[in-house]
Amino acid sequence: MNRETENVSSVLVVGAAAAGLTTADALRRKGFDGDLTVLGAETHPPYDRPPLSKQVLSGRWEAERTALRSAEALAKLDVELLLGDPAVGLDAAERTVRTASGRELRAGAIVVATGVRPRRLPGQDGLSGVHVLRTLDDSVALRADLLAAERLVVVGEGVLGSEIAATARGMGLDVTLTGPLAAPMAAQLGPEAAAALGGLHAGEGVRLRLGTAVDGFVGDAGAVSGVRLATGEVLPADVVVVAIGADPVTDWLEGSGLKVERGLVCDSRCRAAEGIYAVGDVARWEHPEYGLIRLENRTNAGEQAMAVADNILGGDRAYRPVPYFWTDQFDAKIHVHGVLSPDDEVAVVEGDRAERRFVQLHHRDGRPVGVLGWNLPKQTRQHRKALVESLTR
How far out from the chain centre does Cα 28 lie?
Answer: 25
Looking up residue 203, the CATH number of its domain turns out to be 3.50.50.60
For residue 66, being part of any structural domain is answered with: yes
Given 205, 221, 244, the domain boundary residue is: 244
For residue 274, being part of any structural domain is answered with: yes
Given 244, 269, 299, the domain boundary residue is: 244
Residues 130 and 230 occupy one common structural domain: yes
Residues 205 and 353 occupy one common structural domain: no
Residues 90 and 161 occupy one common structural domain: no
Please report how the helices 298-312 and 18-29 are oriented relative to each other, as an axis angle in degrees rounded to 10: 40
- pTM of the full predicted structure? 0.95
Residues 226 and 272 occupy one common structural domain: no
State the total domains in the chain: 3
Residues 188 and 267 occupy one common structural domain: no
Q: What is the CA radius of gyration of the chain?
A: 22
Q: What is the pLDDT of residues 180-238, one digit of tens each?
A: 999 999 999 999 999 999 999 999 999 999 999 999 999 999 999 999 999 999 999 99
Could you give the C-alpha distances from 78 to 35, 202, 250, in angstroms and in order?
9, 50, 28
Residues 34 and 131 occupy one common structural domain: no
Burial label, 385 (beta-carbon count in 10 A; 0-12, 13-18, 19+): exposed
- For the cut 60, the answer to whether the pLDDT of residue 6 exceeds it is no
Residues 234 and 256 occupy one common structural domain: no
For residue 95, being part of any structural domain is answered with: yes
In this structure, what are the phi and psi dihedrals at residue 283, rounded to the nearest 5 degrees? -85, 130
Between 74 and 288, the higher pLDDT residue:
74
What local confidence, expressed as pLDDT, does residue 387 receive?
A: 85
For residue 321, being part of any structural domain is answered with: no
Residues 34 and 172 occupy one common structural domain: no
Position 128: which residue type?
S
Residues 276 and 337 occupy one common structural domain: no
Residues 130 and 236 occupy one common structural domain: yes
Q: Domain of residue 31: give its range.
A: 10-117+247-312
Residues 111 and 260 occupy one common structural domain: yes
Residues 124 and 237 occupy one common structural domain: yes
For residue 135, being part of any structural domain is answered with: yes
For residue 128, being part of any structural domain is answered with: yes
pLDDT-derived band at 303 (thresholds 50, 70, 90) equals very high
Q: What is the pLDDT of residues 269-294, one digit of tens each?
A: 999 999 999 999 999 999 988 899 99
pLDDT-derived band at 366 (thresholds 50, 70, 90) equals confident
Nearest to 86 by CA among 45, 119, 135, 42: 42
